[in-house]
Structure 1
Amino acid sequence: MQCHSPRISSRSRPFRRALPTRRSQIGLPPEFAPHSLRDFFASTALAARIPITEVSRWLGHQNTEITHQTYGHLVPASIGRAREILDGLFNRPDMG
């Protein structure tokens, strides 16, 4: 399953040609790739508890399974948060 076309658009060719020079000029390591920014964005969003469905949509994935397979290990465990929410709902003074 691919989430985007492997074809390089004519608009991105100048960028790709200039990347090695610009990368060294601004001090990025040689292994840096623009896709690293995409990964950073996705992992940061998921760590901030933005729903994976939203992140998947922003990344243009065909479905959330693609996003989950790639970034699922970064999604914080939600059992503790679910427990806090439910405890808060059922332990409210007005529910007495």
Structure 2
Amino acid sequence: MTQYSIAQAKDKLTQIIRSAEEGQSVEITRRGEPVAVILSMDEYRRLSKVPQNFGEAVLAFRQQYIEGQPWFEDEEIDEIFNVRDKSPAREVEL
């Protein structure tokens, strides 16, 4: 990550914005200590999304990477996501 002091950032703001637009985050420092980061709007939106719960994440993954893909048949998807052992549980004596 590129690093600039506040004074340098004032002089090179246009260059810093272009770097951020190209996907490179830029760190801004004050007296050598990081105080801010400039990043692209796309990266900001990605980072500020509301986190999904686990179930929503699995559904999103299936929709994006599995469902509708020609190399996966429905039976294969079932095998991937239904890996739980369905045999009866062992008996426990109390």
The TM-score, its normalising length taken from structure 2, stands at 0.30
More helix by share: 1
More strand by share: 2
The normalised TM-score by structure 1 is 0.29
From the CA coordinates, give the structure whose radius of gyration is larger: 2
